[in-house]
Amino acid sequence: MPGAVELVSELAGTRPLAVASNAPTNVVRTHLQRFFDLTSISIVGGDMVRSPKPQPDVYLAACAALGSDPEQTWAVEDSVVGATAAHVAGLYVVGVSYTSASEVPCHLSAVSLDDPHLLRALFRSPAG
């Protein structure tokens, strides 16, 4: 997703970070290690949970890995399936959809990961 590397780089060290994906963990890890130091990012893949998105399992597992209360955790999602999973898990959902952010069920919509409105919200929130 355009802007992801820059956003994660800015957020790293300011709060715990995780990636919650339906993809297998090794696929996610292989892809992300090209861009990030993964020692500070928890990864939860679809192969680590009983039910994939749109069920909440992957988000609940990510929160557990972070030691974070789901109600104090934000999810950034670009799909209806992922946003649904995050909502059911009790997370605050930021919808980023390049076709139409309003179609992703969310608390806050953004047109991109470098949307100034999103950046202000993330850096204002201690939970992020």
- Range 52-90 burial, b when 16+ CB lie within 10 A, else e: bbbbbbbbbbbbeebebebeebbbbbbbbebbbbbbbbb
Regions of the chain short of the pLDDT cut 50? 101, 128
Q: What is the pTM assigned to this prediction? A: 0.90
Q: Domain of 89?
A: 4-124
Q: Total structural domains in the chain? A: 1
Amino acid 127: pLDDT: 53
3-state secondary structure of 19: strand
Q: Domain holding 86: CATH number?
A: 3.40.50.1000
Amino acid 128: pLDDT: 46
Amino acid 123: pLDDT: 84
pLDDT per residue as tens digits for the range 7-34: 999 999 899 999 999 999 999 999 999 9
